[in-house]
Amino acid sequence: MTLASSSATRSLEVIAGRFHPPDQIDAIDAIGSGNVNDTFLVRLARESNPDAFVMQRINTQVFTRPDLVMGNLIALGRHVQRRIASGLPELDGRRWEVPRVLSTLSEDRHWVEHEGQFWRSISYIGAATAHDVVSDCAHAREVGYGLGMFHHLISDLPVEALADTLEGFHVTPAYLKRYDCVLSAWPGAHCAVDGDVDVDASRLSEAFAYVAQGRAGADVLEAACSRGELQRRPIHGDPKINNVMIDESSGQAVGLIDLDTVKPGLVHYDIGDCLRSCCNPVGEEVSDLSKVRFDLGLCRSILEGYFSVARAFLSSADLAYLPACIRLIPFELGLRFLTDHLEGDRYFKVERRGQNLDRALVQFALMRSIENQFEAIEALVVELTSTT
């Protein structure tokens, strides 16, 4: 992000000065590429300890109750710090950090409201990097370890301690219901939008066919939860690869960031989303769908890392539904991209009309690759969980 004007810079300085003495602030730089919040790194004078912190503007159109988001972060942070302080053998010789919510200088609150906007600050995880692609199997294993350690640390946090700040998030049947509603109105309500551009009807038909194919299994996790087979636990909500911080020296995972989506949910959503993000080497924006594939080798490495610390709290039912979640999450994201395309690109940022349709087809192609390897994925889960 580029700051629009000196007045914008001045506003940032004023806000940062509510969290730290202004005379110790050296610079404020935009960082990150998130689609929701605006994020800045506040660099402090050399003699300061710490030497930086992260300041963010919370998007209140997405998070309508930012106070509840902050409550979740505080509850999670305190719980994890207690767990780490108690001593964990899984962390012997390893570094692990959780972003800590910072108080204002007056110490009466953990956020600032400035010109109708909601700002907060958190501690900065230094000497670590977030990556956009998995470099190799060793990196993949650390990503899996990072998610597994995160789940392990919060596995005994009472789910009642967290507010559901994004109701319906990762509930696939709800997304399918929304898609059906939008599709029923689309030919008339959106003809003007699509009449302005060359929409490839065959690609739309292909996307519709994928949804028709996948809808029968859309409720597999929620139905299992309703039957009592799966339990809601604290989850990250968005554990894609660039939310796992990797130590710049050791190459080890040292923490997860972007914790605004922490909420009660099924750990399967996290596992499936992590694998979806990491195991398609060509990414979400590829134009040649023939190149989209689910890399089973990367999947193995991620699950090895995950199970090395998280196997103990997973039930036999949890394990039984893991292959289903690996297939479900690409379908869910593809469904969301397709619905947004039909609605005129209201949610996901796009640079051109049709981009969300293209993104949807990438996810559906990934789902197809997973389905073609489904027996191998099932066998892999059995193999790894019987030896950990």
For residue 66, the domain's CATH number is 3.30.200.20
- Residue 60 maps to a domain: yes
Are residues 195 and 317 part of one domain? yes
Torsion angle, alpha carbons of 343, 348, 180, 374, to 10: 150
**118 and 36, same structural domain?**
yes
The verdict on 276 and 363 lying in the same domain is yes
- Separation between Cα atoms, residue 282 and residue 290, nearest integer Å: 10
Q: Which domain-ending residue is among 81, 100, 124?
A: 124
Say if 159 falls within a structural domain.
yes
Residue 251: per-residue pLDDT: 97
> Quick one: which of 298, 263, 306 has its CA closest to 277?
298
Could you tell me if 200 and 341 lie in one domain? yes
Contact 44, 50 (CB under 8 A): yes
111: in domain: yes
Which residues does residue 114 pair with via DSSP β-bridges, in sequence order? Answer: 117
**Residues 111/118, Cβ–Cβ less than 8 Å:** yes
Q: Is residue 10 part of a domain?
A: yes
Together in a domain, 104 and 154: no
Supply 127's token pair.
């000497």
> Considering the domain boundaries, does residue 42 fall inside one?
yes
Q: What is the pLDDT of residue 2?
A: 40
Domain identity same for 93 and 157: no
Cα angle for residues 236, 238, 242 (degrees, 5° grid): 115
Tokens of 96: 């692990």
Per-residue pLDDT at 199: 53
- For residue 335, what is the domain's CATH number? 3.90.1200.10
Looking at the fold, whether 42 and 161 belong to one and the same domain comes out as no
Domain span including residue 116: 6-124
pLDDT at 215: 95
DSSP state of 102: P
Position 104 scores a pLDDT of 95
> Residue 88: inside a domain, yes or no?
yes
Helices 267-278 and 322-342 cross at an angle (nearest 10°) of 70
Instruction: Name residue 344's beta-bridge partners.
Output: none
Question: Where is the domain boundary, 124, 146, 163?
Answer: 124
Instruction: Tell me the two tokens of residue 357.
Output: 């349709």
**In the chain, how many domains are there?**
2
Classify residue 378: in a domain, yes or no: yes
Same domain flag for 94 and 173: no
Walk along the chain (388 residues) in steps of 10 and give the mean pLDDT of each run. 62 95 93 78 84 93 93 97 93 94 90 94 96 95 98 97 94 97 76 48 94 96 98 97 96 97 97 98 93 98 98 96 98 97 89 94 98 98 86
Domain stop point among 93, 124, 155: 124
Q: Classify the C-alpha dihedral 78-80-83-87 as positive or negative.
A: negative
**31 and 142 share a domain?**
no
Q: Are residues 81 and 177 in the same domain?
A: no
Q: How far apart are CA 313 and CA 149, in angstroms?
A: 11
143-to-39, 149, 274, 303, 343 alpha-carbon distances in Å: 23, 10, 8, 9, 34
Helices (H), the chain: 6-16, 66-85, 137-154, 172-189, 191-195, 201-214, 220-226, 267-278, 296-310, 316-320, 322-342, 355-372, 374-386
Q: Is residue 1, in this structure, part of any structural domain at all?
A: no
**338 and 242: one domain?**
yes
Asked if residues 217 and 328 have their Cβ atoms less than 8 Å apart, the reply is: yes
98, 149: one domain: no
